[in-house]
Amino acid sequence: MLTSFSLRQRILGLFLLSIIAIALIGVTLALRDLVRKARTEIQEQTRALTVAMLPMLNNTLVIGDLATVEQTFEGLVKDMRIQRLMLLDANDRRPLIDVIEKRNTPHYFTPHWFQSLFNMKIPPYEHTIQIGGVNYGIMLVEISTDPLAHEIWQSVIYLLMWVGIILVMGLVVLSITLTKGLNPLIQLAHIAERFGHGELFLRAPIINIPEIDATTKAFNQMADNIFSLLEQIRRSEETNRQLAAIVEQSEEAMLTVDIDGYITSWNLGAEKLYGYSQKDALGKHITFLLPLDHLPSELTDILRHHKNELFTRRYEVQMLDFNGHLLDIAMTATPLLNSREEHIGEICVGRDITERKNFEKMLLQAKETAEAATRAKATFLAMMSHEIRTPMNGIIGMTRLALSTPLNDEQKDYLECVQSSADSLLIILNDILDLSKIDAGKLTLETTPLQVNELIKGITKLFTSPANSKELELKTSISPEIPSHLLGDPVRLRQIVSNLLNNALKFTSQGYIAIHVSPCRAKRDNYFGLHFSIIDTGIGISEDKLELIFAPFSQADSSTTRHFGGTGLGLTISSRLIDLMNGRIWVESCLGKGSTFHFTIELEMLDDESLQSLQNQKNETQFYQISAVSNDQKTYRILLVEDNIFNQKVATILLKKMGYVVEVANDGLEAINALETKDYDVVLMDMQMPNIDGLEATQRIRAKNSSVRNPQIPIIAMTANAMQGDKERCLQSGMNDYISKPINVDDLQAILRKTLASC
């Protein structure tokens, strides 16, 4: 029922009812209080009046002057609100005096209901007059409540009149306020309706009524938000349409699958690639594209096992097209997320890589062929190297022996020429061997403790004499920041430095050659970077040749080879070795003024424990060296195990010259037999021999059930097998050390001393 009234009517009605209710309750309560107080006051006044009258009354009654009493009563009745005053006989309550207010009050109109509402009648006040124990009479005072009732009634009328006036004024003011307040709301509703019908640019005006303005601002804000959202949706839809078109028309085969692997979208590219129409593909499981023998594939794995992994994966997979052709597909699977970031499937973008795969297969085949050829070449070279080294060993050894015999000048000159040619041939042979090893990837670096300082000193020592002969100054400077001990391959480092020094010496006719070693930054942790600079004041290299010099078989000028000699492999080998040492090589040169070859390498650093152990080892070595020297007087028996008769001869003569007693065994079997019957101090063991080769012979000597006299006898390998891995194999079989052929006399002497000293 209330809903049929407008808001204005409701508010006005409620206001009206509230004011009336408040007024009625307020008036009633106020009047009740007023009446209560008035009654109390009247009763109090009556009592006070009576008390005030008593002395006069008492005196008069004692005298018995009733006339005076009556006169007094009449006076009181006229002036006060007393309606009736009576004096009764004390014994029989007979009225002695009865004075009634005469001028009854027709002008005091008060409705009976109003009087009864407030219980206005007040009972008469009665007082017995007793003096000295004698009752002189009873005084009755009857109070008129009419004036009081009338007065209150007038007040009520007056109050109600004001309530009425306030009510009317309130209604008028409220009505105006409501009208002013509600009109903007109605207007706002109208604007909202129009906005709802599509007039999205409409906004409600601000009218400076805070409550309405708050609503208006909220509406305007909401309208702005809706407008903005609609705009975003429109843009988003446009973008989506474009994206959909791009995806749909893309040449890339794009498809999406749900979390269980069922296809949910399929674009034109997919149709082209796989040959299935969208209609055929949608709803099918992705595995329908997989060849039966490929199940389960990585794709299904991803779908099955990696549902919760939200990152893109790229993999290659083979798939069948509509015609049953096997396709190589490069697949990119990206997780598909919904708006709540939940994983709902995968976006799979496939690209046909069948051709590339075929090409790769061809390449792989070609590579394998090439590698096989390289391996064959390397093996050939190794074989050749061994085969050449063995006679070279004989030539060099024998030449050296021949040179140590009495010769005339001509013979000596010839033999020196033979030795020089043989040395050059050996260098060439070593270079070719190194290069072949590097190319075959068979060259690995040793990791043994080395002292850069000592190493440079040693090299410099070797080059002092040749430099002096050319009147060149040889300078070295090594930064003190370089650690004393590092781990690396000292042989190869020596080879690199020697090579560069050799070149410098070769191409410098005056001035100086300098070696600088300084630290540089290493790329790897726990490695120390070394920067080597070999400076010369030689002929220099022209700028256009600088790039070529590190290529194999190249020198700055082909005439160089003719003029200065050399294979032209030195820089190439150095460059490759430096690569292996995680460094680089470059050159700065000025034609006619000299060149500076720089190279950097990284050597592993030793921890404190290793350093300490090395220090101890060094001390021991020194002790052994001293021991060897001190025991030099002792005659040591050496068993030389060698099948080549020339080598037997060379070695025997060399060892005897060194002061050792030498016995020869032609193969491993003979060596074991000899060791079973005689005591030797050391065995020099060739590797490749008939019957039992060096490795097997060593294993037998070292075996638990060995029949030799001293299974722990030091065995030094002595072989032309200079390929990488030879040394390891020797040591694995139980040998103590290794020396390669052709034999360098100094090396042999050093290794024998070291071995014998440790016995």
Partner 1 sequence: MRNLHQYFFIVLLNSLFLNCSAAEENKPLIFGILNQQSPQLTAERWNPIINYLVKTTGIPLQLKMGATVQATDEMMGKGEFDLVFTNHNFQTEYDGVYRVIARWSGETIYGVIAVNQDSALQTLHDLKDKKIAAPSEDAFVAYAVPKVALKNAGINVAFSFAGNQEGALAQLKAKLVDAAAVNSRFLKQYMTREKIQFREVFVSEPFAELPIIAHSRLSAEKVATIQNALLNMKNDPNAATILEKAKCKGFEMATDKDYENVRLIYRQSGQ
Residues that bind partner 1 (CB under 8 A): 55, 58-60, 62-65, 131-134
How many Cβ atoms from other residues are within 10 Å of residue 743's Cβ? 21
β-strands 594-605, 486-488: how paired? antiparallel
Query: Which CB, 49 or 289, lies closer to partner 1?
Result: 49
483 preceded by cis ω (within 30°)? no
Query: Which CB, 137 or 261, lies closer to partner 1?
Result: 137
Query: Which CB, 58 or 758, lies closer to partner 1?
Result: 58
Query: Which CB, 58 or 287, lies closer to partner 1?
Result: 58
Shortest separation between residue 90's beta carbon and partner 1, angstroms: 13
Task: Please classify residue 240 by burial: count the beta carbons closer than 10 Å to its beta carbon, then call 0-12 exposed, 13-18 middle and 19+ buried.
Answer: exposed
Asked if 457 contacts 542 with a C-beta cutoff of 8 angstroms, the reply is no
Query: Which CB, 131 or 172, lies closer to partner 1?
Result: 131
Say how far apart CA 502 and CA 564 lie, in whole Å: 11
Shortest separation between residue 39's beta carbon and partner 1, angstroms: 31
Shortest separation between residue 133's beta carbon and partner 1, angstroms: 5
Query: Which CB, 17 or 63, lies closer to partner 1?
Result: 63
Shortest separation between residue 64's beta carbon and partner 1, angstroms: 7
Shortest separation between residue 63's beta carbon and partner 1, angstroms: 5
H-helix segments, 250-343:
268-274, 278-281, 298-305
How many Cβ atoms from other residues are within 10 Å of residue 81's Cβ? 17
Shortest separation between residue 128's beta carbon and partner 1, angstroms: 15
Q: Which residues contact 722 (CB under 8 A, 6 or more apart)?
A: 385, 386, 389, 430, 433, 740, 741
106 preceded by cis ω (within 30°)? no
Shortest separation between residue 53's beta carbon and partner 1, angstroms: 12
H-helix segments, 404-451:
409-439
Shortest separation between residue 147's beta carbon and partner 1, angstroms: 33
Query: Which CB, 58 or 419, lies closer to partner 1?
Result: 58
Query: Which CB, 84 or 127, lies closer to partner 1?
Result: 127
Nearest to 504 by CA among 571, 550, 438, 440: 571
Query: Which CB, 59 or 369, lies closer to partner 1?
Result: 59
Say how far apart CA 641 and CA 662 lie, in whole Å: 10
Q: Identity (one letter) of the amino acid at 314?
A: R
Shortest separation between residue 59's beta carbon and partner 1, angstroms: 4
Query: Which CB, 91 or 469, lies closer to partner 1?
Result: 91
Long-range contacts of 214-217 (CB under 8 A, 24+ apart): 215/185, 215/188, 216/184, 216/188
How many Cβ atoms from other residues are within 10 Å of residue 670's Cβ? 18
Shortest separation between residue 136's beta carbon and partner 1, angstroms: 8
Task: Please classify residue 638 by burial: count the beta carbons closer than 10 Å to its beta carbon, then call 0-12 exposed, 13-18 middle and 19+ buried.
Answer: buried
Query: Which CB, 131 or 326, lies closer to partner 1?
Result: 131
Asked if 293 contacts 311 with a C-beta cutoff of 8 angstroms, the reply is no
How many Cβ atoms from other residues are within 10 Å of residue 446's Cβ? 14
Query: Which CB, 59 or 277, lies closer to partner 1?
Result: 59
Shortest separation between residue 32's beta carbon and partner 1, angstroms: 42
Q: Which residues contact 225 (CB under 8 A, 6 or more apart)?
A: none
Looking at residue 285, the DSSP 8-state letter turns out to be B
Shortest separation between residue 134's beta carbon and partner 1, angstroms: 5
Alpha-carbon Rg for the chain, nearest whole angstrom, is: 64
How many Cβ atoms from other residues are within 10 Å of residue 412's Cβ? 14
Shortest separation between residue 44's beta carbon and partner 1, angstroms: 24
- Please say whether the dihedral angle defined by the alpha carbons of residues 343, 345, 349 and 354, taken in this order, is positive or negative: positive
Shortest separation between residue 68's beta carbon and partner 1, angstroms: 9
Shortest separation between residue 131's beta carbon and partner 1, angstroms: 4
Query: Which CB, 62 or 176, lies closer to partner 1?
Result: 62
Say how far apart CA 479 and CA 176 lie, in whole Å: 101
| Residue listed under structure tokens 């690396």 | 488
H-helix segments, 275-324:
278-281, 298-305
β-strands 584-590, 512-520: how paired? unpaired
Query: Which CB, 139 or 493, lies closer to partner 1?
Result: 139
- Strand runs labelled E in 451-609: 473-478, 486-488, 512-520, 527-536, 584-590, 594-605
Q: What are phi and psi of 130, to 5 degrees?
A: -130, 130
Query: Which CB, 133 or 480, lies closer to partner 1?
Result: 133
